[in-house]
């Protein structure tokens, strides 16, 4: 099965969002504040799909096409606003991810954090 993530760059996705925005003249609404609020709202829509369900129920639901599609589209909504936010703030997502993971490696060294969900300040 082909996987689009294997052939699509972050920049491809950022450009997709710019084209969509500019064709509709929505740049005027894409302030950093509006975009982070929309990002959070969409994250909550994604979270709502899991509300009141047990881990076992969710495991079963994730095997069903209709639920997978709903969750995939909500994830896409979250990602769309992340990409829009990166576009208007000129944040290089790959650079930020790389730097943040270096920090995370320092905060969570494997020898202290392996197999535990303890927060870094209590390790
Ligand atoms: Mg949504």
Q: Which residue has the tokens 């495991």?
A: 59
How far apart are the C-alpha atoms of 120 and 51, rounded to whole Å?
A: 28
Tell me if 108 is assigned to some domain: no
pLDDT at 119: 87
If you average pLDDT over residues 45-65, what whole number do you get?
98
* C-alpha 71 – ligand 1 centre gap (Å): 9
Tell me if 78 is assigned to some domain: yes
Q: What percent of the chain has pLDDT over 90?
A: 93
* C-alpha 115 – ligand 1 centre gap (Å): 33
As for how many domains the chain has, the answer is 1
Give the residue numbers spanning the domain of 68: 9-93
How far apart are the C-alpha atoms of 95 and 100, rounded to whole Å?
A: 8
Tell me if 2 is assigned to some domain: no
Tell me if 109 is assigned to some domain: no
* C-alpha 65 – ligand 1 centre gap (Å): 18
Give the CATH number for residue 55.
Answer: 1.10.287.1080
In the predicted structure, residue 67 carries a pLDDT above the cut 90? yes
Tell me if 111 is assigned to some domain: no
pLDDT at 105: 95
pLDDT at 120: 87
* C-alpha 38 – ligand 1 centre gap (Å): 9
* C-alpha 21 – ligand 1 centre gap (Å): 17
Give first-to-last CA distance, the chain, whole Å: 41
What global pTM score does this model have?
A: 0.93
Tell me if 112 is assigned to some domain: no
pLDDT at 46: 98
């Amino acid at each position: 099965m082909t996987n689009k993530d294997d052939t699509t760059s972050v920049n491809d996705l950022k450009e997709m969002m710019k084209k969509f925005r500019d064709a509709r003249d929505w740049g005027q609404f894409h302030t950093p504040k509006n975009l982070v609020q929309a990002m959070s709202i969409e994250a909550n829509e994604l979270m709502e799909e899991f509300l009141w369900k047990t881990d076992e129920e969710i495991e079963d639901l994730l095997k069903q096409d209709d639920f997978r599609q709903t969750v995939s589209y909500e994830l896409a909504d979250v990602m769309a606003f992340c990409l829009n936010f990166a576009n208007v703030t000129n944040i290089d997502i790959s650079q930020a991810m790389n730097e943040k993971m270096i920090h995370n490696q320092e905060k969570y060294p494997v020898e202290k954090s392996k197999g535990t969900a303890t927060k870094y300040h209590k390790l």
